[in-house]
Structure 1
Amino acid sequence: MTRRSDRPIRLAVYLPDLSGGGAERLHVRLAPYLLDQGFEVTLLLDRARGELMEAVPAGCRIVALGADRQIKALPKLVSFLKRGRPDVLLANMEHMNVMAVLARRLAKVPTRIVATQHNAFSEQVKRPSWQWRALPRVYRLAMPHVAGLVAVSAGVADDLTAATGLDRNRMTVIHNGVVTEDFAERAGARPEHPWFAEARPVVLGVGRLVAQKDFATLVAAFAKVAAATDARLVIHGEGPLRGALEAQIAALGLGERVALPGFTANPLAALAHARLFALSSRFEGFGNVVAEALACGTPVVSTDCPHGPAEILEAGRHGRLVPVGDAEALGAALSEALREPRDPAPLRARGNAFTVAHCAAQYADLFRTVLEASERKAGRDG
């Protein structure tokens, strides 16, 4: 058997596309570090699209399966595994994790599968379709066959065990990396929205305009803040709930105090210039933007949602935590934080614990570990 140390490790990272989601952004950021460590990196996509396509680093290959639905990807994934024979396939998203296990079995290749759990599993399976309702049972059958199982926070790992019965000891917690080498440069850029250049304090929210992020509670909380201060609220993001949020803002008479400027390619500029960052999510997997806000030195008020923010904030040591869906408590915490003197140094120190370099090193160590275990097993069996 050829030892893997004699050649670069072939790594394929399986994603739906390169849209601006947290998992996609993470792996585009990890790619150059893994390339520097000698990995051959392929971004394996169901669909070749997304705003991050232009951000893929030189030396990183893109392979698109051309599948518009997950089930249609299966035969193409099998073909890729037979043809490309990667040493490791790093799968992301719940159904892709299952599909990777099945494809490897059908392809009959020695590729090691590492599955990643990016979000709270128990929340994901509440979606109203049989594919999600069946997922706990499917996970119990499929996940014992992966070589590695990554959870992006300890809370996500605990939740996955509670929801599926999978062995918590087989999971590896790797916090997402958000601090890049050009972090300070991006944070120092001029924000797109003009309110950040004015003297009045700005409270900032960032995320897709979807139910998970619960911006309706943030807007309701800010109405209480607006009644007693001259602060403004900016929510960067786009999504299907824009119309409902705009109607809520109008009904509360906040049209001159709340802005929904849409997606921004560089949220760090806004985070660095905001007086406060507010996370109102019902659930998270990690909460990248919380770590980014801290690394910018910006105070954070967050819901104590499952899972991630409380780990990042160390149970409230580095920011305020409030109950999920409680506009009264969120408004009070925002008002208190606006009055409190700002010391960015300890916040930056905590945020800088979440570097992309450290995250990449942990993934690289895991890949090498699962391959070494595979080689030892092959030696015993051979």
Structure 2
Amino acid sequence: MKISFLIHNVCGIGGTITTTFNLAQALADRHDVEIVSVLRSRDQPALTPDPRIALRFLVDQRHEKDDALYREPARVFPAAEYRYREYSRLTDQRIAAYLETTDADAVVGTRPGLNVHLALQAPDRVARIGQEHLTLERHSPRLRTALRPAYRRLDVLTTVTEADARAYRRMMSLPRVRVEALPNSVPDPELPPADGRAKLIVAAGRLVPVKRYDLLIHAFAPVAAAHPDWSLRIYGTGPQRDALRALIERLGLSNNAFLMGAATPMEAEWVKASIAASAASFEPFGMTIVEAMRCGLPVVSTDCPHGPAEIIADGTDGRLVPTGDRDAFTAALLELVRDDERRRTMGRAALENAARFAPGTVVEQAEHLLAEAVAARAAGRRTPRPPGGRTRALLGHGFAARDLALTAAARARRTLRKDHR
């Protein structure tokens, strides 16, 4: 199969980009794979793609901001989507042109707004797979209303947890769409796993409020007081850095808790530790939890919606504590800090249990979903796209005939021949 991933901007840093690169690389072992980035904001992406994976860009933000269409609001990308302000009539045209001329058997959209483009504009011969990396409950009612009619045009919709898949099946009325949980994968570690001897707790992720690093630091304070030879390292960057540094100083933890900045890859930092921690109030999946477990670390995590409880077996390979409960978090950390054998046993269990998130396991499920969707399209088991009037209604912004004309094959081929690398 030829598989194409449509992504927002590979030049950034984030879980969706990492997950897309991981899955694309695993699929490239047996398939022709490309990643199409709608936007380009710098010379090279943050992650280096596998050389077998073709990478192309549709709109170069560095050089095309003077285009008149770049300054006009998007008419296809839903206005209620978080990234709407970064989209325009120019992105409308370029995405439509790409979809019009793609030779992919299946196109995978990686965020709600791009799934809308895919559902409404992909040719009938192309299997349409939409991915949701957040959760349905995090989408505003306005966005859900915009997504529902478009998502009915998809062949497959994947979520990262079974809990979210159940929510989509129950609440979105997608009777002809296959809704499946497809967890994120984490590459096989290259370093020996942690041995549980280091007196170090590690956490990683964006320094933003939802990650609740403030709670983690507060919860760690009694640990440091009782066991001053233990340290906490937090990896990542973000707007809360100064506030968290001030909190560390105010609690007298400057010799025990450290903001380490970004680290890539994180594997080398995970294996130095003995415990991983995640205090988030919301976690659509929990990529860092899986990363840590694949490096042999037990994880102490809040039992927040949706991911941690589907990853961690409480008491076996980590601990789950009530969301926002500082005292419970402290108690779980102390339990592992004080019991060397329990900590190491949990670490070994984490390494074994997290193997289900290895690329081979996840890619087998992804291949099955893709192959069935492609076969169904080839057999004509999907209804044709709605007529122009219905399409315009679904797009919500009056996707005019002029826009449709601009995606004619001849124009699209000229557009896509440009080398945006």
| Superposition TM-score, scaled by structure 1 size | 0.84
Q: Which residue of 2 aligns with 1:103?
A: 121
Deviation at 1:225, TM superposition (A): 1.5
1:156 aligns with 2:148: no
- Relative to structure 1, the CA distance from residue 65 to residue 133 in structure 2 (aligned partners, 3 Å threshold; closer, same or farther) is farther
1:354 to 357, 373, 378: 357
One-letter amino acid of the counterpart of residue 99, structure 1:
H
The DSSP-based 3-state class of the residue aligned with 1:46 is strand
2:126–2:377: 8 Å Cα contact kept in structure 1? no
Deviation at 1:186, TM superposition (A): 7.8
- Change in 2 beyond 3 A, CA 1:136/1:215: same
Shift of 1:315: 4.8
**Residue 137 of structure 1 contacts residue 164 of structure 1 at CA under 8 Å; is this kept in 2?**
no
Change (3 A) 1:52 1:302: farther
Q: Give the whole-Å Cα distance in 2 for the aligned partners of 1:159 and 1:250.
A: 42
CA distance in 2 between partners of 1:376 and 1:247 (Å): 62
- Superposed, 1:160-309 pairs within 5 Å as 160-161=168-169, 164-166=172-174, 170-180=178-188, 183-185=189-191, 201-230=199-228, 231-309=230-308
SS of residue in 1 equivalent to 2:40: coil
Aligned-partner Cα distance in 2 for 1:380–1:141:
14
Letter in 2 for 1:288: M
| Native 8 Å contact 2:297 2:350 kept in 1 | yes
Q: Which structure carries more helix by proportion?
A: 1
Structure 1 residues 186 and 118: CA distance shift in structure 2, 3 A: farther
Stretch moving more, 40-49 or 209-218: 40-49
- When Rg is computed on C-alpha atoms for both structures, the one with the higher figure is 2
Determine if contact 2:35/2:53 at 8 Å carries over to the other structure. Answer: yes
Equivalent residues in 2 for 1:17-166, closer than 5 Å: 17-18=9-10, 19-37=12-30, 39-49=31-41, 52-53=45-46, 55-66=48-59, 69-72=86-89, 73-104=91-122, 108-123=123-138, 125=139, 132-161=140-169, 164-166=172-174
1:374 deviates by: 1.1
Q: Tell me, in whole angstroms, the C-alpha distance in 2 between the residues paired with 1:57 and 1:200.
A: 34
Please give the secondary structure, in 2, of the residue aligned with 1:122: helix
* 1:276–1:301 Cα contact (<8 Å) kept: yes
| 8 Å Cα contact 2:316/2:349 also seen in 1 | no
| TM-score, length basis structure 2 | 0.77
**CA shift in 2, pair 1:337/1:170, >3 Å:** same
Give unpaired runs (5+ residues) of structure 1.
1-8, 126-131, 189-195
Between stretches 9-18 and 93-102, larger displacement belongs to: 93-102
Identity %: 28
The structural deviation recorded for 1:206 is: 0.6
Change (3 A) 1:249 1:135: same
Deviation at 1:232, TM superposition (A): 1.1
Offset from partner CA, 1:168-213 (integer Å, 9 cap, x none): 9831111211132xx133868xxxxxxx9xx861111110111221
Q: Distance in 1 between matches of 2:251 and 2:237?
A: 21
More RCO (CA 8 Å, sep 6+)? 2
Root-mean-square deviation (Å): 2.5
Please tell me the residue identity of whatever aligns with 1:170.
R
- Give the drift of 1:92: 0.8
Distance 2:220 2:365 in 1: 39
